[in-house]
Amino acid sequence: MTSAPAALSVENLCVEFRTRSGIVRALDKVSFSVAKGETVALVGESGSGKSVTAYAVMGILDPAGRVTGGRAMLGGLDLLSANQSQLAKVRGRKMAMIFQSPRTALNPIRQVGRQIADVLIRHGDVTRKAAPAAAIEMLRAVGITDPVRRAKTYPFEMSGGMCQRVMIAIALAAKPSLLIADEPTTGLDVTTQAVIMDLISDLAEKLGMATIFITHDLALAGQRAARIVVMHAGHVVEAAPTRELCANARHPYTAELIAATPDSATSLDALASIPGSLPDLRRTDLPPCRYSERCPRKTERCAQPLPVGPPDAAHTIACWNPLPARAIGAPKVNAA
């Protein structure tokens, strides 16, 4: 276990959404931590609550959403109980986020150079006069060619990959210590995906920045992250260092996820799909383990509240009946 202080420590985060058809209990006691400079992947199906977790931590939840419990400690500040002005000081400065669909995530009628400069000016790094030049440097740092000219272009004039680079530039302009990347490569073609991921990894290393990398693609997570946190229906079901998870997945859901993940060695026929579907999170009678209703290993014990392991454990499992260590037959995922 690392002895460095965590960059971000999320403890028992609970989030609810008020909707017309009822209250959606989106997150239930989500806990995980990210060490300084570490890359952690948050993995799960659509609807597992990965993005909601990120939005809650950043404080940009939809107005219908409410944090109903837990803490998110970022360098001594509890993000969940901070007010908007405290949060505004921290966002961009200490933690930043990049989103999917980069083209719609950028202001369509503002030159990209000015959007980067806005962040630089806001977080006091540069004067108004020096900002445009600093913005050009940021563009160069994210690998955009001809940055002087590009700084004066608009998002609609750029490709998806370039827009994502600009978003990275905006996020890293104030050199935050934590970057949350919400499916940053979804919608980009495969080559661009690899390039963008490389860029993020390089910059993270250069800045000593911790990264939380949200994805539904376990293979991608396996390639890029030092640790993987697996989520299902608003719970963290398993968390472990990448190699450990890939070789020794113990939660039934993780095992299914691995089985469903294609790699070059698996034929499409051999790909399994995970039976059942996510439970309706508006139900008031949700079982303590939200996977139990689709789980092949369900026992009577699974009706009890989930076990809480020691907080320092490297490999956490939220399950009463986990797979035995070194599950035989679970195909391995290629880990870098």
Partner 1 sequence: MLANVLRRLVTVIPTLIGVVIVTFLLTRVLPGDPAVYFAGPTATPQSIAEVRKSLGLDKPLPEQFARYIGELAHGDLGNSLATGRPVLAELTSRLPASAELTLFGLVISMLIAIPLGILAAVKQGTWIDHTCRIVATAGVSLPVFFTGLLLVYVFYFRLGWSPPPLGRLDVFYDAPPTVTGFYLIDSLLAGNLELFRASLGQLILPGVTLALFSLAPIARMTRASMLTVMASDYIRTARASGLSSYTIVVTYAFRNAMLPVITTLGMVFSFLLGANVLVEKVFAWPGIGSFAVEALIASDYAPVQGFVLTMAVMYVALNLLIDILYGVVDPRVRLEA
Q: Which of 6, 23, 105, 327 binds partner 1 (CB under 8 A)?
A: 105
Please report how close the Cβ of residue 88 comes to partner 1 at its closest, in angstroms: 5
User: Taking Cα atoms as reference points, which of 293, 267, 269, 270 lies closest to residue 280?
Assistant: 293
Could you tell me the end-to-end alpha-carbon distance of the chain, in angstroms, rounded to an integer? 20
* Choices 153-161, 246-254, 282-290, 307-315; region in contact with partner 1 by CB under 8 A: 153-161
104 touching partner 1, by CB under 8 A? yes
Q: Which of 7, 170, 257, 330 binds partner 1 (CB under 8 A)?
A: 170
13, 72 in Cβ contact below 8 A? Answer: yes
106 touching partner 1, by CB under 8 A? yes
User: Taking Cα atoms as reference points, which of 324, 332, 333, 301 lies closest to residue 250?
Assistant: 324
Q: Which of 17, 32, 99, 253 binds partner 1 (CB under 8 A)?
A: 99
Q: Which is nearer to partner 1, 58 or 203 (CB)?
A: 58
Q: 183 to 222, contacts with partner 1 by CB under 8 A?
A: none
Where does residue 263 rank: exposed (0-12), middle (13-18), buried (19+ CB within 10 A)? middle
Tell me, residue by residue from 19 to 58, as one string, x for binding to partner 1 by CB under 8 A and - for no binding. Answer: ---------------------------------------x
167 touching partner 1, by CB under 8 A? yes
User: Taking Cα atoms as reference points, which of 210, 227, 214, 228 lies closest to residue 95?
Assistant: 210
118 touching partner 1, by CB under 8 A? yes
Tell me, residue by residue from 123 to 152, as one string, x for binding to partner 1 by CB under 8 A and - for no binding. Answer: x-----------------------------
Q: Which is nearer to partner 1, 110 or 282 (CB)?
A: 110
Q: Which is nearer to partner 1, 75 or 331 (CB)?
A: 75
Q: 217 to 276, contacts with partner 1 by CB under 8 A?
A: none
119 touching partner 1, by CB under 8 A? yes
101 touching partner 1, by CB under 8 A? yes
How many residues in total does the chain contain? 336
Which residues, other chains included, contact 333 with Cβ-Cβ below 8 Å and sequence gap of 6+? 218, 219, 222, 246, 258, 261, 263
* Choices 142-150, 167-175, 234-242, 327-335; region in contact with partner 1 by CB under 8 A: 167-175
User: Taking Cα atoms as reference points, which of 230, 225, 227, 229 lies closest to residue 200?
Assistant: 225
Please report how close the Cβ of residue 21 comes to partner 1 at its closest, in angstroms: 20
Sheet of 316-317: strand order equals: 95-98, 178-182, 210-215, 39-43, 227-232, 235-241, 316-317
Q: Which amino acid is at 87?
A: L
Q: Could you please report the per-residue DSSP string of 149-165?
A: HHTT--GGGS-HHHHHH
26, 14 in Cβ contact below 8 A? Answer: no
Taking 3-state DSSP, the helix, strand and coil percentages for the chain, each rounded to the nearest 5, stand at 30, 25, 45
**Site residues for partner 1 per CB under 8 A:** 58, 60, 87-93, 96-97, 99, 101, 104-110, 118-119, 122-123, 154, 156-157, 167, 170-171, 174
